[in-house]
C-alpha cells in the first residue's frame, strides 16, 4: 500500500517501487494494481498511465480484512461485519438451537467466534446515531 498526497507523487513512488522490485527479481502485476483517492468530494473514476501500465482508480478495496472506502465512511464496513456475524451464527445454528447443549456451552462459540467476527476493526469506527441503532449500541 502506497500513501501519497498528490497523483504525481503516487506515480513517482510507484515507479520507484517497480525499479526496486525489479532489482530483487519481483514484477508488479499491472492488472491487479489499483489506487484509491480519498476525499469527501464527488469525482469521476479515471485511469492513470505510468510508463508501461494503467492504474485503475477504485471507490473501495479490502486491506487486511477491512474495507477502505474513498469517502472514509464506515457504514459499508459495519454492514459487511454484521453480515459475516450472521453467517457465522447460522453456521452454528444447530448448536444454538439444541436443547442438549447448556447455555454456558452455547456462549463459548458466541464469544470466541461470532463476536470477534463482528467487532473486528471496530476501534476505528466513528458511529453515528443511525449506525448505533443498527448495531444496538446504547
Cβ atoms of 84 and 115 closer than 8 Å: no
For the segment 7-24, the average pLDDT, to the nearest whole number, is 85
pLDDT above 60 for 114: yes
Q: How far apart are CA 76 and CA 100, in angstroms?
A: 38
Please identify which residue in the block is written with the cell numbers 443511525: 130
At residue 25, the pLDDT reads 92
At residue 41, the pLDDT reads 66
pLDDT above 80 for 104: yes
Percent of the chain with pLDDT over 90: 2
The pairs formed by 69-76 with CB atoms below 8 angstroms and a separation of 24 or more are: 70/36, 70/37, 70/38, 70/39, 71/38, 71/39, 71/40, 72/38, 72/40, 74/124, 74/125, 74/126, 74/127, 74/131, 75/131
Q: Which of 24-28, 71-75, 96-100 has the lowest mean pLDDT?
A: 71-75
Question: For residue 44, what is its C-alpha cell?
Answer: 469521476
Q: In the structure, what pLDDT confidence band is assigned to residue 138 with cuts at 50, 70 and 90?
A: very low
pLDDT in tens, 45-93: 566 666 666 777 777 777 777 777 777 777 778 888 888 888 888 888 8
At residue 24, the pLDDT reads 93
Amino acid at each position: 500500500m502506497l500513501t501519497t498526497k498528490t497523483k504525481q507523487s503516487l506515480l513517482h513512488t510507484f515507479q520507484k517501487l517497480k525499479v526496486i522490485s525489479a532489482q530483487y527479481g519481483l514484477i508488479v502485476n499491472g492488472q491487479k494494481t489499483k489506487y484509491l483517492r480519498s476525499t469527501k468530494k464527488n469525482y469521476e473514476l479515471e485511469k492513470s498511465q505510468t510508463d508501461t501500465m494503467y492504474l485503475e482508480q477504485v471507490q473501495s478495496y479490502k486491506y487486511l480484512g477491512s474495507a477502505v472506502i474513498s469517502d472514509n465512511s464506515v457504514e459499508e464496513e459495519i454492514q459487511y461485519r454484521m453480515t459475516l456475524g450472521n453467517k457465522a451464527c447460522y453456521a452454528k445454528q444447530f448448536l444454538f438451537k439444541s436443547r442438549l447443549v447448556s447455555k454456558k456451552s452455547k456462549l463459548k462459540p458466541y464469544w470466541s467466534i461470532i463476536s470477534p467476527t463482528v467487532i473486528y476493526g471496530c476501534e476505528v469506527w466513528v458511529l453515528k446515531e443511525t449506525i448505533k441503532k443498527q448495531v444496538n449500541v446504547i
